[in-house]
Amino acid sequence: MVQLYVFGHPFETDAVVQSVSETAGNPPIGTIATTHGFSFTHTLEAQDVVYGLGEANRGINKRGFRYVNHCSDTPSHTEDLSSLYAAHNFIVLSGTNHIGLFFDYPTTITFDIGYTQQDTLSVTCDSANLKLYVIQGASAYDVVKEFRSLIGPSYIPPKFAFGFGQSRWGYKTRKDFERVVQEHRKHHIPLDMVYMDIDYMEDYKDFTVNSEEFPDFPAFVQEMREQGVHLVPIIDAGVKIEKGYPVYEEGVQKGYFCKREDGSDFEAAVWPGLTHFPDVLNPEVRQWFGNWYRVLVDAGIDGFWNDMNEPAIFYSPEGLAQVKTSMERYLADSTGALSHHSVLDALNRLSNSSEDYQRFYHKVQGEWVRHDRVHNLFGYNMTRAAGEALAQLAPDRRILLFSRSSYIGMHRYGGVWTGDNMSWWSHILLNIKMMPSLNMCGFLYCGADLGGFGCNTTRDLLLRWLAFGVFTPLMRNHSALGTREQEFYQFENPQDFRHIISVRYRLIPYLYSEFMKAALGNDLYFKPLSFLYPNDPLACEVEDQLMIGNEVMVAPVYQQNATGRYVYLPEEMLFVKFCPDGTLTQTVLPAGVHHVSVALNEVPLFIRQGHTIPLAQPCETVADLSTQPLECIGYSGATYTLYDDDGMCRSCTLEGHTTILIKE
Amino acid sequence: MVQLYVFGHPFETDAVVQSVSETAGNPPIGTIATTHGFSFTHTLEAQDVVYGLGEANRGINKRGFRYVNHCSDTPSHTEDLSSLYAAHNFIVLSGTNHIGLFFDYPTTITFDIGYTQQDTLSVTCDSANLKLYVIQGASAYDVVKEFRSLIGPSYIPPKFAFGFGQSRWGYKTRKDFERVVQEHRKHHIPLDMVYMDIDYMEDYKDFTVNSEEFPDFPAFVQEMREQGVHLVPIIDAGVKIEKGYPVYEEGVQKGYFCKREDGSDFEAAVWPGLTHFPDVLNPEVRQWFGNWYRVLVDAGIDGFWNDMNEPAIFYSPEGLAQVKTSMERYLADSTGALSHHSVLDALNRLSNSSEDYQRFYHKVQGEWVRHDRVHNLFGYNMTRAAGEALAQLAPDRRILLFSRSSYIGMHRYGGVWTGDNMSWWSHILLNIKMMPSLNMCGFLYCGADLGGFGCNTTRDLLLRWLAFGVFTPLMRNHSALGTREQEFYQFENPQDFRHIISVRYRLIPYLYSEFMKAALGNDLYFKPLSFLYPNDPLACEVEDQLMIGNEVMVAPVYQQNATGRYVYLPEEMLFVKFCPDGTLTQTVLPAGVHHVSVALNEVPLFIRQGHTIPLAQPCETVADLSTQPLECIGYSGATYTLYDDDGMCRSCTLEGHTTILIKE
């Protein structure tokens, strides 16, 4: 049951697709105050679990922290970080009752979930203009499915996007890209995508390509495709200010950029230097900006990642002027009253500053809306611009699309990656914990930068992370400029990496089938164990194992120097290991806790009692994946309903695309 | 067996107390190169474990990372941080053979333990002037004990230092300190020490007290003592430059401060503003600086913590001049060639810069030695100065003393705390992992800032951390200015905190007894499970459980929202929980893995089969601890050899201080 409570005059976010009539009075739980901004307060029982928040820090159970949903370009995801790139304002309180709460509110909102006071949930924001959707269900899982149907179907990528993709900030030349493909093919490491980070562009200008390196870009794209590889370029939010650059010229001429209070186009420095931000909250601008993707689609590109769309701001001219003033004051100070910290503080405030977010405006239905009042909708609408346009440009096929910043509603237009993580073991665990939470908020096509984006990876970290990445729909190795090179062929024994990636490809029939069932059925691809075993208290507490679809449980190893790990089985399961020699070990383990040994070059998974999953033969691209015949592994006599399609159709349904397989 | 290999002309660190004659030729393992600096390279077998490095990041098994031993004031201890406050250059390679390696080298040295190449240990430093001690033994534990006897006996604090201490950077007024004591006494939370961070001083001048707040400091110290509380002031490395301040005046006059190349006294800004560093590598200066502690000892103080002694440098006048130049250049640049990053980079390089460490000199046996060549010895020798002086000033009693920076050798003069950690759950685990490694390097009196120093704690984090802190010799709650106040009485239900601290006091007879046995026998207080169960492969991999003494195993809960944890028992053990109502639950658990439930307000421990431990009655200060009669918990018929003394004697031995207890 969904109830809608409306406070004040909410901004229309288009997060929800179902029409829900407003309920009068007070929500069934919580105390609401609207005198100073908005607050929702509720006392939690000791055993209540709080799920949700999508891309957020900390656990699957979100209790014990204060989350500030404010889309932020913050690369060092330490435990105390309260804001990440996304704002997914949906939580589920699960205890005696199961209640979902979606705070449809377009800017900064704080979820204090037992942080200030251990038993108190408090959700607060500055303005009492919002919609609150309250969903009651028989279980947390029920509530989530109801919410998912409220917000509409999740984005479905082309099937090739279930292959492996290699990326690095720093690939610049044609040779850089060619080498990646050559090395993967030479080592027979499967590969479907190579990502193009910012250096493929001409001076970081969106929808341009460095013509010195790529004099005939369509031919290069085609050449890569002939080697089975899709190039996936990045698109940034800021449009470079440069005379003669048509995106800039046209945007200025048509008044499509965000404006200062005085009506001039707001300027923000990002990678290209000074840029303007397209006013993607305006449908006309969305259509215009989205149509620019055609430049690359026409060149043969069939996948994009949208970045820097919180939007990230390195500095504004106004902010920089303040910094200069602080330097002048400091240098002129002969009294010693000012310290160099006055300058350092000014410099540290320069990026992504709240002052800058108050300096520009969007035009929404003829009204000017200051950016800080709708901040969390920017990345969503940039990706919506692309998604809507690509549906027009390529009506007969899916285009790969994912974004760094997002808000619920964007899940209909693209996937997400979890942004600039680090080569930390704890970030494998964070990756594990984020996945089901993202799924709950509608984001099914998701994954983290495997091996870690920032700082230096190690071979063992990368191998362990990949063994989980095998199961994330978006499987990408990505790293930052200046860090250790982390392509697989940079390490000893690349065959270990080949093996793990090969296992991914063998599992694609299952992973794709489960993904599609989740997408078409408003269901979850990743589930916490509690969703399937709600009456098992030990299962309900597990945060480092996940259910994938209905058949598989994963329990990744995420501790350095561990030769295995403890795993909790809520029921008997078949423990399967994919060994580097191509064989499988299969052991039935009874319910309970077990220590399982897993070598660095093995991929473990668990199949639930009475279930079976399909397994393809190894191959090097998704296009080469043969589904006839599929091997089945699991329990004898068990059946599996396989979903499959051409990997491209935009209007697929479960009907007519499923086959029942039986494990002999 | 200990062998000594000498390369070049080593600097005498006084780390080793035994006389070992030099062995000619090459060490029994590894390849050494001395052409460009020094390198030791050795191939690790897959199953080799590497222990050691004392206060260092990452695991008990140090494999898989590159550690740069360079004493550093670096507060954010993320996984990728390679340098902490200390430099403990001792490792043990444990596999088919067990070999200890101590690289006695006074400045930056890098341990690449399978980071660059997974199977390769590589130890490198810039200068091939060092001593390498190689210790072979029958086990890793054997090697460690041999090493401990090589480096001499560990520092022993007074018994009251096993009580609980409350600290916060920010206590300033007399009222601040009084309130801490009053609140603890009001809530009956045991308390033996209140730490005085930098604000007790007059303008951060060492060996001064803010006379406005403390017009009669000895009387205040006495007043606190009458309430059972020892005040423990901080002493910083830098001596404020201020006319009329006697420490400064005398140091300048006697030439006791570190000098620039031109012979002038080097200036470094720290908390007091510009300071000079006492040249503690010079024995005459050590004696002089150490004697200043008398000012506070005479006021009744019997404990100190030495801080900022890496030494930390906020900036030097030379560095600041460079920053100003960078600002002037940036402001004058009309071409746009310079960005504000040129200034930001200069500002970020300002603190603890390698350039500053090259700007000053020590006088060692008449020779000038540039600081960067002996950098890791500064904190060691500052604390040695204090320890040597205090032994003269108080020959008949022990004084509490611990330090932030350290080098092996300092363990004879004081303990350590692990510096500025964070209120992160992962730092409970880091605390657990550091303790046995510190013990291996001789540092027995040690602990972390419980609850976390930086960023905001939560009630549950603090409770869980304390339940481990119950077992660390140094048990202190400390937090930073600007963070959430984390005294126990700031949270709901302070009785939960009272209970946990009470358990600490009940355990002090055991903890002190085991500490003293370890200190007097060159043994370990904290041991990895592998040291007691070397033939149990699962035990050998455990990094989140520790043995304490010979009887107890601890398995702290360090995950948020967990109601318990999995624990591996290498043998049958008695699982004991101290419940908040004062009762104990006692359950015999067979060898193997178990899930144990532990509430936030419970303290769990495990007693080994056939063992017993003593338990005192609850009390509120160590002075009130009654050892007659002691209750015994554990296995019936088991005996325990209790060490006890007056808690003050400086020349205690095991003989004559032990009693055999029998569990009925």
Q: Do B422 and A115 touch (CB under 8 A)?
A: no
Q: Do A63 and B560 touch (CB under 8 A)?
A: yes
- Chain B neighbors of A343, CB-CB under 8 A: 327, 343, 347
- Asked, colleague to colleague, whether B2-151 and B511-662 share their fold, the answer is yes
Q: Do A492 and B117 touch (CB under 8 A)?
A: yes
The answer to whether B463 and B492 have CB atoms below 8 angstroms apart is no
Distance CA A458, CA A454 (A): 12
Structure confidence at residue B626 (pLDDT): 84
Query: Tokens representing A84?
Result: 């990440």
- Chain A neighbors of B327, CB-CB under 8 A: 327, 330-331, 343
pLDDT above 80 for A400: yes
Distance CA A540, CA B565 (A): 13
Q: Please give the residue of chain A at the shortest CA–CA distance from B492.
A: A117
Number of A:B CB contacts under 8 A?
A: 127
What are the Cα distances from residue A255, in Å, to A258, A267, A362, A377, B251? 8, 14, 11, 20, 70
Residues A349-385 pLDDT 10s: 999 999 999 999 999 999 999 999 999 999 999 999 9
Structure confidence at residue A626 (pLDDT): 84
CB contacts under 8 A, B 134-173 vs A, are: none
Fold classification of A511-662 is: Immunoglobulin-like (2.60.40)
Q: Do A561 and B315 touch (CB under 8 A)?
A: no
Pick from A58, A331, A562: CB nearest B327: A331
| B178 touching A (Cβ < 8 Å) | no
Residues A103-127 pLDDT 10s: 999 999 999 999 999 999 999 999 9
Q: How many residues does chain A have?
A: 664
Which residue in this structure is represented by tokens 């440069």?
A242
Q: Write A654-661 long-range contacts (CB < 8 A, 24+).
A: A654/A516, A654/A517, A654/A520, A654/A521, A657/A516, A661/A612, A661/A614, A661/A630, A661/A632
Could you please report the per-residue DSSP string of B344-396?
Answer: HHHHHTSTT-HHHHTS-EEEETTEEEEGGGSGGGHHHHHHHHHHHHHHHH-TT
| A422 touching B (Cβ < 8 Å) | yes
pLDDT above 90 for B167: yes
CA distance B562 to chain A (A): 7
CB contacts under 8 A, B 333-362 vs A, are: 340, 343-344, 347, 350
Q: Which of A406, A609, A432, A617 is nearest to A507 (CA)?
A: A617
pLDDT above 90 for A655: no
pLDDT above 90 for B664: no
Q: Do B331 and A344 touch (CB under 8 A)?
A: no
Q: Do B320 and A331 touch (CB under 8 A)?
A: no
Q: Do B563 and A543 touch (CB under 8 A)?
A: no
- State what percent of residues in chain A have pLDDT above 90: 98
Residues B354-384 pLDDT 10s: 999 999 999 999 999 999 999 999 999 999 9
| A22 touching B (Cβ < 8 Å) | no
CA distance B116 to chain A (A): 7
Structure confidence at residue B468 (pLDDT): 98
Q: What is the average per-residue pLDDT within B638-642?
A: 97
| Nearby residues of A433 by Cβ (< 8 Å), 6 or more positions away | A58, A59, A60, A543, A544
Local confidence band at A68 (pLDDT 50, 70, 90 cut-offs): very high
Q: What is the average per-residue pLDDT within A69-80?
A: 96
CA distance B239 to chain A (A): 20
Q: Do B458 and A330 touch (CB under 8 A)?
A: no
Distance CA B208, CA A287 (A): 70
Q: Taking the domains of chain B in order of start, what are their residue ranges?
A: 2-151, 319-348, 511-662
Residues B56-96 pLDDT 10s: 999 999 999 999 999 999 999 999 999 999 999 999 999 99
Structure confidence at residue A306 (pLDDT): 98
| B81 touching A (Cβ < 8 Å) | no
pLDDT above 90 for A651: no
Structure confidence at residue A629 (pLDDT): 82
CA distance B461 to chain A (A): 9
Q: Do B323 and A340 touch (CB under 8 A)?
A: yes
Q: Please give the residue of chain B at the shortest CA–CA distance from A461.
A: B64
CATH number for B2-151: choose from 1.20.1740.10, 3.40.50.9100, 2.30.30.30, 2.60.40.1760. 2.60.40.1760
pLDDT above 90 for A652: no
Local confidence band at A664 (pLDDT 50, 70, 90 cut-offs): confident
Phi, psi of B220 (to 5 degrees): -65, -45
Residues A125-152 pLDDT 10s: 999 999 999 999 999 999 999 999 999 9
Pick from A323, A344, A424: CB nearest B79: A424
Q: Do A343 and B340 touch (CB under 8 A)?
A: no
Which residue of A47, A77, A78, A342 is the best one to mutate when testing the B interface, meaning the one whose CB has the most B CBs within 10 A?
A: A78
Structure confidence at residue A627 (pLDDT): 73
CB contacts under 8 A, A 560-579 vs B, are: 560-563, 566, 568
Q: What is the ipTM of this complex?
A: 0.97
What is the overall mean pLDDT for chain B? 97
Q: Do A78 and B425 touch (CB under 8 A)?
A: no
